[in-house]
Chain A
Amino acid sequence: MPEPGDPAIALSEIVQDFPIRRGSTVRALDGFDLKIAHGEFVAILGPSGCGKSTVLRLVAGLERATVGEVLVEGRAPAELSREHRLGVAFQEHALLPWASARSNIELPFKVAGRPVNRARVDELLNLVGLAGFADARPRQLSGGMRQRVAIARALALDPDVLLLDEPFGALDAVTRRRMNLELARIWQAQRITTLLVTHDVDEAVLLADRVVVMTGRPGRVRHVELVDIPRPRGTEVTREPAFHEIVDRLTGLLDEAEPGAVTEPAGRPPRSAA
């Protein structure tokens, strides 16, 4: 049974290997350790191919660790997803193209076999600023709007844990910045334990309580940065020297981490290590 002081998410001594071809594997994570407290927002930052998405997929129960243990609320992630207590949004919005924004947000209710809580869906549509677009289909929405629907869908069932894998990675810089501020506002209202995977330093620092910087492949924790900028964090935060100091420091760490990823042996990196 989880105790009150226990972490919401605990990854201990994780080793993750992916088979690339017959007999050979690539090591995506090697001795990865991370604990996330209840109600904490943690961002994982790393060069591409460092295995940061693998961390998220482990917590989502989409991959199983080769060695080590992943616990969410003290239990296996797959158990939580079976109880519909996880929310997730990916870089690809993964919305159902034949369904309206409203019915995409209703999906978690239907999948869980629960009656659709219309008030909750309306509240989410308002929260993500799409009240006027409830009946629009995804292709009628802009890229940013689609991601907002995807985030609303992830929040629909009040999940214990919210998992965000580069949710704004496919958006242009301006939209992305606006979405970051918006997510900061949404998170402020919900305060769900959140794991965000990103390669955007500004995004990580603006949103997270803690930023974990990973090494190149195989991924390990290289540095943990506590971001003690008070919330709510609006656009003015991004102009403060404290913000830029952290961003510069983390960017420097990322630049140093990069060469490790380049000297990898030739061969296709596994899909989930991106």
Chain B
Amino acid sequence: MTSGTAGIGRVRSAGAAPAATRRGFWLAAAGVLALLLVIELIGRLGLAGPSWPPLSAVLGYLGTPTARLVLGRAIGATGTAAALGLLLGTVLGVLLATLGTLLPPIGPGLDRLAAVVNAIPLIALGPLLINTAGRAATPTLVAALAAGFAVFVAATSALASAATSQLDVFAVLGAGRLSTLLRLRLPAGLPLIVDGLTLAAPAAVLGAVIGEWFGAPRGLGVLLVSAMQNFQANLLWAAALGASVLALAGYLVLLGLRRLVNRRFM
């Protein structure tokens, strides 16, 4: 098991792979550039009407001090809600998965509960949470729900990912469930849990924006709604851009964390 993963790591750093990686990078960069050009062209030619401005106009708008202030504040609010939601969702997801591992009989029930909760559209939960938890807390809570499910699923399989031979050794050594969890299942599963986090981070940004949609005091979701209703195409696009950058930033940060964790625990 370990020798296999170590083998992959070695191949990657051995010199054969970098050429392919570099080609992949340039291909991806070319793809992004082409996409941006198409967006710009559609805007320039007015193919999609006045609600699709050229990208250059949006970027120009972002240069103005007011736009920077408004957007900066919104990104700060949404980022905070998403980060708190991710933290809350991670804690809840890992705790629930841990509970399912420590008390095996309730494991399947927890899986089903999580699936049912996840099946409820977040958009339907928004108004409900506004009425119960309040406008300020809703973005964080929706983000926590969105992220929590991804983390729960990842953590459940992560905690079951220790090798059979390792579990056998722990059993013969007389390790209790808690000791096996802390000394084997959690560290062995950490890379998979962090994998789940890389999926959960963009989900948390999406959840936070949806939560703000229903009338949070501030945030990208609020900006999106008001820009849409007031036909401020540039602001609308700038807010959408902000949300994408935020989700991407969260993903990249966790990708770095994953690299660190993999080096330590595999």
Residues in A lying within 8 Å of B, measured CB to CB: 60-62, 81-88, 90-92, 94, 96-98, 107-108, 110-113, 138-139, 153, 163
Contacts and interface: CB of A to CB of B under 8 A. Distances in A.
B13 interface: no
A198 to B, nearest CB: 17
B241 interface: no
25 contacts: A60-B171, A61-B171, A62-B171, A81-B171, A81-B172, A81-B173, A83-B174, A85-B174, A86-B173, A87-B172, A88-B169, A88-B172, A88-B173, A90-B165, A94-B163, A94-B166, A98-B264, A107-B173, A107-B183, A110-B179, A110-B183, A111-B173, A111-B174, A153-B169, A163-B172
Contacts of A138: 2
Interface magnitude class on chain B: 20 to 34
B24 to A, nearest CB: 27
Interface in B102-118: none
Contacts of B3: 139
Given A97-B2, A139-B2, A139-B3, A90 B173 contact: no
A98 B264 CA distance: 6
A86 B175 contact: no
B130 to A, nearest CB: 44
B174 A94 contact: no
A84 B174 contact: yes
B61 interface: no
A163 B168 CA distance: 12
A90 B169 contact: yes
A33 to B, nearest CB: 23
Interface string B142-174: 000000000000000000000101101111111
A86 B174 contact: yes
A92 B166 CA distance: 9
A2 B171 CA distance: 24
B72 interface: no
A111 B172 contact: no
A81 B180 CA distance: 14
B69 interface: no
